[in-house]
Amino acid sequence: MAFFRQYLTEDEEAQIHQQFQGDIWRRNNQVLWSGILRDEAQRWADEHEMQTLTTAMGPLMDVSHRLCSRNKKTINEWSQYVKGASAIFAWYISRGEKVTVLSPPPPERFHPSGATSYQAIEEPIIRGKLEARAVSRIEMVHPNVKGAENIHYQIWPVDETTTWTAKFGESNVQKRCWRMVKKVKTLAYNLGDTEIIKKVIKQYEVKHTPISAHREEGQDEEKKYSEEGERKGESKVDMKKRIEEEEKKKVAKMEKKMTTQEKKSKKEEEKWVAKMKVKMEKKEAKRVAKIEKKEAKRVAKMAKKEAQKEKKREEEEDKKMDREKMEETSNRLHQLEEDCREEGMESRARAKVEHEAAQVKKEKAKLQQEMEKLEKRVTLAMAGERQKLNQEFDKRMRQHDKSHEKRMQELEDTFAQRRDEIDRKAADFEAVRGRLSTAVKERDKRIETQSDELVELNERYDMLERAKNSIGKEILKRKTELALVKEFAFDPQPVDYS
């Protein structure tokens, strides 16, 4: 729509239409506001599950989203964009039956200047001043009045303000200090201009022949190139060729610059991705090696500690058994000596002692066998413990491998996302280059048309100049003849000038 183009480009308008035509739009559930803070209006709308412009625009007004153009525009450009979005928002609202407007309480509900976005843009649209389509009713709510946060009343087409003031009154309302707003042309003013222009064009079409559309657009440019060509003494064909060559050079330079920037950006992205991948792999390898080394040290330390404990326990048991055997043997020897002294039977005592000594040797051999068995048992126990430790280590390594694989998958997903972003940027660049190529073709076509028109105008000018010279000569000739006639009027005989 032509009215929206004073605020938005064609692509921006199409993008907003696409957003509002999706599933996000909820009929008769929109909120407009004026004279209160945006956060207050947004909070009220969220609490009542209704849509403000920000809600309906979604990612197009989310600064963190790539579709939002806030960071690409100046403050003034963004203000124009929001005004255009407000106009389209109101246009879609006018397709419904009702709309809710939030404002301060009466008597001063709106800005005295009438230049706010709601007064100058949105209200004229929802009331049908842009088209014949309008909402059936406009309802008003004053969220800043305690107790009236959810009270709706109609202000258009029937003004029911008195029903609200009868309940809440106006005596407790202080006079507002309104902020300064920039004066803008209202929608009604713009529509008035449009009607006047249409009438003028209609009258002009009746009295005059149509003017070429390209001639008005390229008048200044044509004048500039014409003057420059005249200074250099160029013909029309040479001037046309020179203009085309300059345009082609500009386009080629711009394409080369954009291609170089894209290649550089892509190369830097790939380099960064490869660098990050190598860095993460090295870091992960170091971390795995460190964990393995730490685990091996811990297992070795535990095995060594267990072996020391087992060895110490065995030594203590051996010492205890040796002490017991020595005490028992000593007791037997003392008993035998006493028996020998008492009975005086040295030979028998000696034989008995020898017999006891033989028994001691047997018991010692038996103890040696038991010690060997105990050592075997300890060895088997240590082997079982080592196997258990190895199993635990393998389990931890498997868990670590799983976490490592998960991390590598996350890195691959990240790299894939970056690659998709690079591809998307490349696609955007191709789209820009396509639009640029289309613009260049249109420019070439326009230049060609203008050149043809310039040649045609020059031919007409030459023809008029020749006609002028011819007429001048004819006038001079007639004047000469008239002067001669007047001078020789007394002579009845005509003078022969042949």
pLDDT in tens, 105-156: 988 888 888 889 899 999 999 999 877 789 999 999 999 999 999 999 999 9
Assess contact for 45 and 51: CB atoms under 8 A. yes
- Do 291 and 183 sit in the same domain of this protein? no
Q: Can you name the residues that pair with 33 across neighbouring β-strands? A: 102
- Do 143 and 275 sit in the same domain of this protein? no
- Do 39 and 122 sit in the same domain of this protein? yes
- Do 165 and 271 sit in the same domain of this protein? no
| Total count of domains within the chain | 2
Query: What's the confidence (pLDDT) of residue 244?
Result: 77
Q: Which of 162, 192, 222 is the last residue of a domain?
A: 192
128: DSSP letter? T
Residues 6+ apart with CB under 8 A from 296: 393
403-410, Cβ contacts within 8 angstroms, sequence gap of 24 or more: 404/284, 404/288, 407/284, 408/284
Q: 365 to each of 70, 268, 312, 371, 372, how far by Cα in Å?
A: 96, 81, 22, 10, 11
Q: Which of 414, 438, 466 is the last residue of a domain?
A: 414
* Cα three-residue angle 408-413-414, rounded to 5 degrees: 95
- Do 187 and 330 sit in the same domain of this protein? no
- Do 154 and 272 sit in the same domain of this protein? no
Q: Which of 382, 414, 446 is the last residue of a domain?
A: 414
Query: What's the confidence (pLDDT) of residue 383?
Result: 77
Tell me the three state secondary structure of residue 492. coil
Residue 47, in any domain of the structure: yes
Distance CA 130, CA 124 (A): 7
Distance CA 364, CA 124 (A): 118
Distance CA 87, CA 300 (A): 77
Distance CA 259, CA 247 (A): 18
Residue 345, in any domain of the structure: yes
CA 134 to chain centre: 35
> Of all helices (H) and strands (E), which one includes residue 33?
strand 31-33
Assess contact for 56 and 89: CB atoms under 8 A. yes
Residue 405, in any domain of the structure: yes
Residues 6+ apart with CB under 8 A from 207: none
CA 80 to chain centre: 21
Residue 459, in any domain of the structure: no
pLDDT in 10s for each residue of the chain, 498 residues: 667 778 899 999 999 999 999 888 999 999 999 999 999 999 999 999 999 999 999 999 999 999 999 989 999 999 999 999 999 999 999 999 999 999 999 888 888 888 898 999 999 999 998 777 899 999 999 999 999 999 999 999 999 999 999 998 874 445 565 666 555 544 544 444 444 334 433 443 333 333 333 333 444 444 555 555 555 556 667 777 777 788 778 777 777 776 776 677 667 767 776 777 787 778 778 878 888 888 888 888 888 888 888 888 888 888 888 788 778 877 877 777 777 666 665 566 567 767 877 887 888 888 888 888 877 877 877 777 778 888 888 888 888 788 888 888 888 888 888 888 888 888 888 888 888 888 888 888 888 888 888 888 888 888 998 998 999 889 998 888 888 888 776 555 555 554
Query: What's the confidence (pLDDT) of residue 47?
Result: 94
pTM: 0.40
- Do 283 and 186 sit in the same domain of this protein? no
Residue 489, in any domain of the structure: no
| Ramachandran angles phi, psi of 267, nearest 5° | -65, -45
Residue 153, in any domain of the structure: yes
- Do 22 and 141 sit in the same domain of this protein? yes
Q: Are strands 153-156 and 137-141 parallel, antiparallel or unpaired?
A: antiparallel
Distance CA 405, CA 402 (A): 5
For residue 101, the enclosing domain spans: 2-171+179-192
The count of residues in the chain is: 498
- Measure CA of the first residue to CA of the last residue in the chain; give whole Å: 74
Query: What's the confidence (pLDDT) of residue 172?
Result: 47
Residue 333, in any domain of the structure: yes
Residue 458, in any domain of the structure: no
- Do 69 and 164 sit in the same domain of this protein? yes
User: Strands, E, within 317-453: which ranges?
Assistant: none
In b/e form, how buried is each residue of 349-379, taking b as 16+ CB within 10 angstroms? beebbeeeeeebeeeeeeeeeeeeeeeeebe
100: DSSP letter? E
